């Protein structure tokens, strides 16, 4: 799915080391059969590539960018500054400060350049994908139907598990 169809979601991350977190976003997109691409892009280490990625994403058909980064996590904000696409930021859990540094770096954007910031770590990556699916679902009733089924299944599972 990620390679064959034209991608609608760009999943980018500051380092290969973020993959264990960001794979949760990719897996969720796959479960909804939403075409995506995944790339390592760093504002700090590959600034020219980041600029190219952000400025060409829209013309390539990307609708939403999910950007994960840890520590001094400037990637989501810098990408948001160079595109008008919605950018969802995932704070990756850092070794030194458990992701609080990542969260604050992503969430505290100056007015005018929005980044939709998710929770730290795996749940944030999963929810970034679900939020992307919800956004795409506003113009795609088939996706909305899948989202409703996902939520119903989730609710039923929790109710079943409540019978201890
Ligand atoms: N925060 C950023 C950016 C950026 O924001 O441009 N580029 C890499 N990184 C982060 O550095 C951490 C450590 O990276 P390494 O494991 O490669 O040393 C990763 O979590 C990455 O997201």
Domains of the chain by start residue, with CATH: 9-161 (3.40.50.1970)
DSSP classification of residue 94 = P
> Is 50 exceeded by the pLDDT of residue 58?
yes
Taking Cα atoms as reference points, which of 25, 9, 10 lies closest to residue 126? 25
Note the residue count of the chain.
164
DSSP H or E segment with residue 50: helix 47-56
List all residues 6 or more positions away from 150 whose beta carbon is below 8 Å from its beta carbon.
Answer: 31, 32
- pLDDT of 120: 98
Question: What's the pLDDT score for residue 47?
Answer: 98
The encoded tokens of residue 160 equal 């079943």
Ligand 1, atom 20, residue with closest C-alpha: 70
The answer to whether 34 and 63 are in contact (CB under 8 A) is: no
Our answer on whether the CB atom of 42 is closer than 6 Å to any ligand 1 atom is yes
Q: What is the pLDDT of residue 5?
A: 86
Helix (H) or strand (E) holding 39: strand 36-40
Q: Which residue has its alpha carbon closest to ligand 1 atom 16?
A: 17
Ligand 1 touching residue 44 (CB < 6 A): yes
Closest C-alpha residue for ligand 1 atom 8: 14
The DSSP symbol for 5 reads S
Residue 4: predicted pLDDT: 62
Specify binding-site residues for substrate: 15, 18, 45
Task: Tokens for 54, please give them.
Answer: 């952000």
**Any ligand 1 atom below 6 A from CB of 34:** no
Q: Is 127 in the pocket of ligand 1 (CB under 6 A)?
A: no
**pLDDT at position 164, please?**
67
Q: What average pLDDT does range 145-152 have in this prediction?
A: 98
**Interface predicted TM-score of the whole assembly (ipTM), two decimals:** 0.99
pLDDT in tens, 72-115: 999 999 999 999 999 999 999 999 999 999 999 999 999 999 99
pLDDT number for residue 2:
46
Compute the distance between CA of residue 23 and CA of residue 28 in angstroms, rounded to an integer. 9
Q: Tell me the CA distances in angstroms from 89 to 23, 26, 66, 101, one per residue in order.
A: 14, 14, 6, 13
What percent of the chain shows pLDDT beyond 70? 97
CA torsion angle 136 139 142 146 (round to 10): 40
């Amino acid at each position: 799915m990620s390679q064959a169809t034209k991608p609608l979601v760009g999943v980018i991350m500051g380092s290969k080391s973020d993959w264990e977190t960001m794979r949760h976003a990719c897996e969720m997109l796959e479960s909804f059969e939403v075409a995506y691409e995944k790339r390592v892009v760093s504002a700090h280490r590959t600034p020219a590539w980041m600029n190219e990625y952000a400025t060409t994403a829209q013309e390539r058909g990307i609708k939403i960018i999910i950007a994960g980064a840890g520590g001094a996590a400037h990637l989501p904000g810098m990408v948001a500054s160079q595109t008008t696409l919605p950018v969802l930021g995932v704070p990756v859990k850092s070794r030194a400060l458990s992701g609080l540094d990542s969260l604050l770096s992503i969430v505290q954007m100056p007015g005018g350049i929005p980044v939709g910031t998710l929770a730290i770590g795996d749940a944030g990556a999963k929810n970034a994908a679900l939020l992307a699916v919800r956004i795409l679902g506003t113009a795609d009733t088939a996706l909305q139907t899948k989202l409703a089924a996902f939520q119903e299944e989730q609710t039923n599972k929790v109710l079943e598990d409540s019978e201890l």
